[in-house]
């Protein structure tokens, strides 16, 4: 039996009826239509589906959609403000912190959540922050460099 899910995605309120076993990632991709969030393993080990739920990074393949009831979800589509990319997005571009790009939304969400929680992480803390996300292309170091540059204040928040 479907139940009602009320939540906000990137600031926009949604009321959707979903089956109890439907996953958050399925709602985001298939019902809300935000396909930026990827799915790499469906067992919360690769991190491609990472989104922010009330400010915390979660793997949306391991969260039931109904668990998100009443929460605010931010996906990769919610990072830019209008046509201004977020500091992390710009840093990722400059540092070549993506290649195939399939892990990138998850990486960005993990790093954004990390900086929300801890605006001045050490290099080790950055590495820990993205340790749940697999990137098969870049070897992580370019991602760590990009986050470090943001921490150092090299990229200002868009006004």
- Containing H/E element for 116? helix 104-117
Q: Which residues contact 111 (CB under 8 A, 6 or more apart)?
A: 88, 126, 129, 130, 143, 146, 147
Regarding 40 and contact with other proteins (CB under 8 A), the answer is yes
HSE value, Cβ hemisphere, 13 Å, CA-based, for 37: 32
Which span sits near other proteins by CB under 8 A: 52-60, 65-73, 112-120, 124-132?
124-132
Query: Cβ 74 to other proteins, closest distance in Å?
Result: 12
Residue entry with tokens 């892990």: 103
Regarding 138 and contact with other proteins (CB under 8 A), the answer is yes
CA distance 151 to 156: 10
Regarding 36 and contact with other proteins (CB under 8 A), the answer is yes
Which span sits near other proteins by CB under 8 A: 1-9, 112-120, 122-130, 151-159?
122-130
Size of the site for other proteins (CB under 8 A): 51
- Contact criterion met (CB below 8 Å) for 79 and 89: yes
- Residues in contact with other proteins, shown as a per-residue x/- string from 76 to 95 under the rule CB under 8 A: xx-xx----x---x--xxxx
**Closer of 72 and 125 to other proteins (Cβ):** 125
């Amino acid at each position: 039996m479907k139940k009602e899910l009320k939540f906000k995605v990137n600031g926009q309120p949604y009321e959707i009826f979903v089956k109890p076993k439907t996953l958050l990632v399925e709602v985001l991709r298939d019902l809300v239509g935000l396909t930026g969030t990827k799915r790499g393993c469906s067992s919360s080990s690769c991190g491609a589906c990472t989104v922010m739920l009330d400010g915390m990074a979660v793997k949306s393949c391991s969260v039931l959609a109904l668990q998100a009831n009443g929460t605010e979800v931010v996906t990769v589509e919610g990072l830019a403000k209008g046509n201004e990319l977020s500091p992390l997005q710009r840093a990722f571009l400059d540092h070549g912190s993506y290649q195939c790009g399939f892990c990138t939304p998850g990486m960005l969400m993990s790093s954004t959540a990390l900086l929300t929680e801890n605006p001045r992480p050490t290099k080790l803390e950055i590495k820990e922050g993205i340790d749940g996300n697999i990137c098969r292309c870049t070897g992580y170091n370019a991602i760590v460099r990009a986050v470090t540059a943001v921490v150092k204040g090299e990229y200002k928040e868009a006004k």
